[in-house]
Amino acid sequence: MLDVLIVGGGPAGSSLAWALRDSGLKIAIMDKAEFPRQKVCAGWVTPAVMQELDVDLDDYARGRVLQPITGFRIGQLGRKLVKSDYAGDVVSYGIRRIEFDDYLLQRSQARLITSEPFRQMQRTDSGWRVNDDIEARVVVGAGGHFCPVARAIGSKVVSEVAVAAQEIEFEMTPEQEAECTIDAEIPELFFMPDLKGYGWVFRKGSFLNIGLGREDKHRLSAHVQDFVDYLKQQNRIPEDIPQKLAGHAYLLYPHAVRKIVGDQVLLIGDAAGLAYAQSGEGIRPAVESALIAARVIRDCGGDYSAARLQAYAGLIEQRFGERQPDPDFMERLPFAVRQLFASGLMRTKWFTKNVVADRWFLHAHEEPLDTAAQ
């Protein structure tokens, strides 16, 4: 019998197992995929993530892409971008999820049950029986946005308002590299005029990642195509990029209404709907939720009743704030007023650096979690 079965081996699941590695608990991670596996993601991580997970950057960079980021170019789609500069300081990293997730999973020290999709779970006297033969005292749903454990405890995954995003990541040929005018250290962010999402171009070594996400999936493919065409017209990206884009979804923290704790079960990462509202950054909240969950699981002393696990929901709210499912002040403003606000502000150096880059994207106002206290 396992103590903890984690369903999903992404950053949330592997971070939880890693944080519990010396707890004496029997832990397994189940994933439907075989690793290394692809994951639709721009692959931008803040230094807080590396610090919280105690990642040795030199070790990581050996044979893997670790692209330092020292600035951003930000603006409204169709207008001139404004550069935010950090005088050579590394404020973020570009990674490839196929490498990053595998690295975290392999060092987690958990038993790995891969190529095994979660099918169902049933109650037993001591916890849960998953897929008819794996017994665990507590099941943690870390299966991303469409997490089957979230569904099993009642989330209506399909009817939620989520960000829908599409992207492509590919290795450029030497000719394509010569044609691409994006600086590797300076990703570019293009906000949509209605502020419902943004597009990005991100060069990581010889890899190029182009994508766009919106909290309104209506005409998403058309928005993405317009964006790609615009980048080509501006001579920012090669003409002959591969055609096929991949899509995925995630919930923004304020608008997510999932129940994240049940009897002998809890949800972490995207399964719990934690991505930051303005940037859509989901890796840091996924990792932080895992570290918080590890602390609660340790404190439970083997009693994983809903009453004991409820502390997790409280700590998540303490860390990420109260959820606000209703539209905020900006969202209630008429479209024309919002557009006016956005286009004016996005042209200023002050707003793009201090608000968009520092607050929205880097969360510079928020210290990394104190892992010693977790």
Ligand X SMILES: Cc1cc2nc3c(=O)[nH]c(=O)nc-3n(C[C@H](O)[C@H](O)[C@H](O)COP(=O)(O)OP(=O)(O)OC[C@H]3O[C@@H](n4cnc5c(N)ncnc54)[C@H](O)[C@@H]3O)c2cc1C
Give the nearer residue to ligand X in terms of CB position, either 250 or 360: 250
Give alpha helix (H) positions in the chain.
11-19, 47-52, 57-61, 97-106, 148-152, 174-179, 220-233, 283-300, 306-320, 329-332, 335-345, 349-350
Give the nearer residue to ligand X in terms of CB position, either 57 or 337: 57
Smallest distance, Å, CB 56 to ligand X? Answer: 20
Pairing outcome for strands 163-171 and 261-262: unpaired
Smallest distance, Å, CB 210 to ligand X? Answer: 10
**228 phi, psi to nearest 5 deg:** -60, -40
Smallest distance, Å, CB 337 to ligand X? Answer: 29
Residues that bind ligand X (CB under 6 A): 7-13, 30-33, 39-45, 117-118, 142-144, 148, 165, 167, 211, 213, 248, 250, 269-271, 275, 280-284, 286
Please give the structure tokens belonging to residue 182: 């994006």
- Sequence-ordered strand ranges (E) for 27-91: 27-30, 44-45, 67-69, 71-76, 82-85
Smallest distance, Å, CB 256 to ligand X? Answer: 12
Give alpha helix (H) positions in 107-188.
148-152, 174-179
Q: From the CB of residue 330, how many other CB atoms can be counted at a distance below 10 Å?
A: 11
Give the nearer residue to ligand X in terms of CB position, either 16 or 300: 16
Give the nearer residue to ligand X in terms of CB position, either 61 or 157: 157
Residue nearest ligand X (C-beta atom): 282
Smallest distance, Å, CB 329 to ligand X? Answer: 26
DSSP-assigned letter for residue 108 = S
Give the nearer residue to ligand X in terms of CB position, either 96 or 137: 96
